[in-house]
Amino acid sequence: MFMKFRFFLFILLINSCLFSNERDISFNECLQVELLKMCEEEQDLRKKWIYAEDEETKLEFQQKVMHIDDYHLRRLKEIIKEYGWPGYSLVGSKGSNAFWLLVQHTPDYAFQAECLEYLEQAVLDNNASKIDLAYLKDRVYMYAGKQIYGTQLNADLTPYPIEDEDHINQRRQEVGLPTIEEYLKFTREMFRESILYSKEKDNDSS
């Protein structure tokens, strides 16, 4: 069970750095800085959790991750209530992407579904990333049935069930994602490198 959850965290970390819109428009710099700081903090804790060298340390960082997720969830709900989806015009592309990643990591799936509606409208307004929308839509749809773009993977590095799988690459191309074959190859290579890195750390500490 632990290895499966550890892999799930790893996939989230990969997804956070695969694709990003480089546009840098920002009208609420304070909120942008806050979101980037929140994202940096939780990414740092998750990496320490994944690469912890012993069970005691893993448990310590697991508790810290759960605590910061709860804190962030409260703040995310405040932001979505006040602004709707914080898009490019409000916090720039980096701030909007940070908000998306924080939403992806929240354990509150009802809130994710709520955010999906706001993000869909922001994308229609050209004010948010189609790729971010694809990942969040897959997360919500995965729990409800079948995902659309194949972004969500099992512990065995295969996608959760996909709707109309024959046309998945067409849908991925429409939002700017690589083919499912390229995505799986990249993810598997990154996962192997992660395992090797973890083993090297274990050897260095022994």
110-131 pLDDT tens trace: 999 999 999 999 999 999 999 9
CA gap 108, 70 in Å, rounded: 9
| Predicted pLDDT of residue 86 | 98
Q: Which of 51, 114, 100, 113 is nearest to 72 (CA)?
A: 100
Question: What is the number of structural domains in the chain?
Answer: 1
CA gap 99, 105 in Å, rounded: 10
Does the residue 206 lie in any domain? no
| Predicted pLDDT of residue 81 | 97
Does the residue 134 lie in any domain? yes
Beta bridge partners of residue 147, listed in sequence order:
162
CA gap 105, 69 in Å, rounded: 8
Average predicted confidence (pLDDT) for the chain? 86
Tokens 């598997």 appear where?
188
Q: State the pLDDT confidence band at 203, using cuts at 50, 70 and 90.
A: low
> How long is the chain?
206
Does the residue 56 lie in any domain? yes
Does the residue 36 lie in any domain? yes
The pLDDT > 70 percentage for the chain reads 81
CA gap 24, 91 in Å, rounded: 9
DSSP string, 72-108: HHHHHHHHHHHHSS--HHHHHHHHHHHHHHHHHH-S-
Beta bridge partners of residue 159, listed in sequence order:
153
Does the residue 129 lie in any domain? yes
Q: Which of 69, 67, 46 is nearest to 58 (CA)?
A: 46
| Predicted pLDDT of residue 8 | 52
Does the residue 205 lie in any domain? no
What is the span of the domain harbouring residue 111? 2-200
pLDDT digits (tens, 9 = 90+) for 41-56: 999 988 888 777 888 8
Instruction: Determine the residue type at 159.
Output: P
Burial (CB < 10 A; 0-12, 13-18, 19+), residue 6, is middle
